[in-house]
Amino acid sequence: MSEKDMRVRRIEHGTVIDHIKGGQALNVLHILGISGSTKAVVSVAMNVQSDVLGTKDIVKVEDRELKQEEVDRISLIAPGATINIIRDFKVIEKHIVDLPEIIDGVVKCDNPNCISNSKEPVTSKFTVNKEPVELRCIYCDHMISEEIAEHLI
Amino acid sequence: MHLTVINKFKLKGCILGVMQKHIISMRDFSRDEIDIILEKARTFEPVARGGSSSLLSGKILATLFFEPSTRTRLSFDTAMKRLGGNVIDLGALEASSVAKGESLADTIRVIASYADAIVLRHPKEGAARMAAEYSSVPIINAGDGAGHHPTQMLLDLYTIMRESSLSGLRIALVGDLKYGRTVHSLAYALSLYHADVTLVSPQQLKMPDVIKKDLEKQGAHIRETTRIEDVIGDIDVLYVTRIQKERFPDPAEYLKVSGSYRITEKLLEKANDNLIIMHPLPRVDEIDPAVDKTGYARYFEQSFYGVPVRMAVLAMAMGAK
Ligand SMILES: [Zn+2]
């Protein structure tokens, strides 16, 4: 089946996130803070055939233009994803995701003795190494380099 | 002026628009910045050896120890008082707000309004970094969990500088290199000096690969062995740490391992004449007391050097010239 056949309908306004590594769409929604209670119209296509990725996922969020810092978080789990901002059915902006230098409140430190896992009023924060993707907790120095999706808050 | 160099802290440098001089982790320091602190400590050594100064007169240091480390606390106390300053502390922990469940963040905000700097020791890793986010005065980390203990690293480097040499250094780190996080920080600091580092530990307590790789990336030359005998003849510094009983499920195995890492006069027969032996103290039986009177022992000097080093850190944190 071609990508075209699988494709959910075109959107008038909003954001299309394409080239997400197959199987990561739900994590992408999670990162964007899109849950069951979100009012926005969201369409998800999973495991679409892709020449480059094998399979890919696509997420479309209507009437919401994602900000760069929101989409940057996506690169933690879907490096190479592309973001198209749509107005009047036209792509008016195209971004390729890029890892931020610091991520704040997205990933949980897996050191149980870390202050960010205590009752203190702090969110977890990591500095980001891009290649390979490695996160270092700014509090306890603990490194996360594999299975980052499993550490999403 | 060197203080501006110390001001260059990563991530947390600027809170309320005021540059802070927090001392949280060795990773915040470049080699140049460390050298500045060590040089500063050198100028304080005569004061630490029984002199006095009025450099920090009128200043108040708060020492907040959420877990006991009497020696470190006394060392900071001594450093502050020799510089003419005053020290306040939490008193009996059980009587304080902490026992009532107050967060560290709140405690820090309150104490920061009383004192000119805060020395913090806390069982949670990263506690000092968080405290710095909430403090209006400099935070000096005196140990957080198994994590950072920068003044210990600085006094170790200072001891090497004074009793041996930091350039062309050949050092062996002995003991628990797997869980001993302060040894990891020391190894990191040594890598800034491109030291030749030999890791000596039992197989089950070897330094994790990820840390070794990080050190090599920083410029350290790393070798590994399980036997002190292999390296004793070609090192300048033997840095001994404790092997903890808790790491061994089998007590007999612990006895065997700890016995084979005990430093004795016999082992030292093959040592360089100018070898120095260091240990963060307290020791249990890693070093035979007979070694104390040899020319190699430096662990008591090392302990003393904590005072001038902490004087330097306090003076810098509180902006004294
Ligand atoms: Zn952490």
Please give the span between the terminal C-alpha atoms of chain B, in angstroms, as a whole number: 9
* B11/A120 Cβ within 8 A: no
Residue A6 has pLDDT above 80, yes or no: no
* B124/A115 Cβ within 8 A: yes
In terms of Cα–Cα distance, which of B67, B73, B102, B106 is closest to B89? B73
User: Shortest CB distance from A114 goes to which of B11, B104, B125?
Assistant: B125
| Residue with more model confidence, A62 or A131 | A62
* A127/B126 Cβ within 8 A: no
Q: Are residues B180 and B133 in the same domain?
A: no
Q: Are residues B261 and B161 in the same domain?
A: yes
A49 touches chain B (CB under 8 A): no
Q: Are residues B200 and B294 in the same domain?
A: yes
Name the residue of chain A whose CA is nearest to B129's CA. Answer: A139
Q: Phi and psi at residue A70, in whole multiples of 5°?
A: -70, -45
- For residue B261, the domain's CATH number is 3.40.50.1370
In terms of Cα–Cα distance, which of A75, A132, A76, A107 is closest to B210? A132
Q: Are residues B178 and B274 in the same domain?
A: yes
Q: Are residues B145 and B286 in the same domain?
A: no
Q: Are residues B43 and B132 in the same domain?
A: yes
Q: Are residues B200 and B242 in the same domain?
A: yes
| DSSP label at residue A137 | E
What is the rounded average pLDDT of the residues A62-77? 80
For the record, the structure tokens of B73 come out as: 């606390």
Do the Cβ atoms of B122 and B105 come closer than 8 Å?
no
* A122/B144 Cβ within 8 A: no
Residue A10 has pLDDT above 70, yes or no: yes
Q: Are residues B155 and B201 in the same domain?
A: yes
A124 touches chain B (CB under 8 A): no
For the record, the structure tokens of B92 come out as: 């009996």
Do the Cβ atoms of B241 and B183 come closer than 8 Å?
yes
Q: How far apart are CA B271 and CA B261, in angstroms?
A: 15
pLDDT tens sequence across A70-81: 777 788 888 788
* Cα angle: B252, vertex B226, B263; to 5 degrees: 70
Q: Can you say whether the dihedral through the CA atoms of B109, B115, B121, B125 is positive or negative?
A: positive
For the record, the structure tokens of A2 come out as: 């071609």
**Residues 6 or more apart in contact with residue A109 via CB below 8 angstroms:** A116, A117, A124, A126, A137, A139, A140, A142, A144, A151
For the record, the structure tokens of B8 come out as: 């260059």
Q: Are residues B105 and B216 in the same domain?
A: no
Q: Are residues B249 and B193 in the same domain?
A: yes
- How many domains does one find in chain B? 2
Check residue B140 and give its pLDDT.
97
Q: How far apart are CA B21 and CA B38, in angstroms?
A: 16
Check residue A58 and give its pLDDT.
92
> Which three-class secondary structure string do you get for A54-79?
EEEEEEEEECCCCCHHHHHHHCCCCC
Mutate to test the interface with B, among A104, A138, A144, A146 (most CBs of B within 10 A): A138
Q: Are residues B86 and B41 in the same domain?
A: yes
Q: Are residues B35 and B179 in the same domain?
A: no
The overall pTM is greater than 0.90: no
pLDDT tens sequence across B107-140: 999 999 999 999 999 999 999 999 999 999 999 9
Alpha helices in chain A (DSSP H): 3-6, 25-31, 68-74
pLDDT tens sequence across B27-67: 888 999 999 999 999 999 999 999 999 999 999 999 999 98
What is the rounded average pLDDT of the residues A128-147? 86
Check residue B250 and give its pLDDT.
87
pLDDT tens sequence across B126-185: 999 999 999 999 999 999 987 789 999 999 999 999 999 999 999 999 999 988 877 888
Do the Cβ atoms of B83 and B321 come closer than 8 Å?
no
Q: Phi and psi at residue B229, in whole multiples of 5°?
A: -55, -30
Residue A109 has pLDDT above 90, yes or no: yes
**Full domain range(s) for residue B157:** 150-303
Check residue B15 and give its pLDDT.
33
- ipTM for the complex? 0.81
| Residue with more model confidence, B294 or B250 | B294
* A102/B127 Cβ within 8 A: no
| Residue with more model confidence, B98 or A63 | A63
Residue B2 has pLDDT above 60, yes or no: no
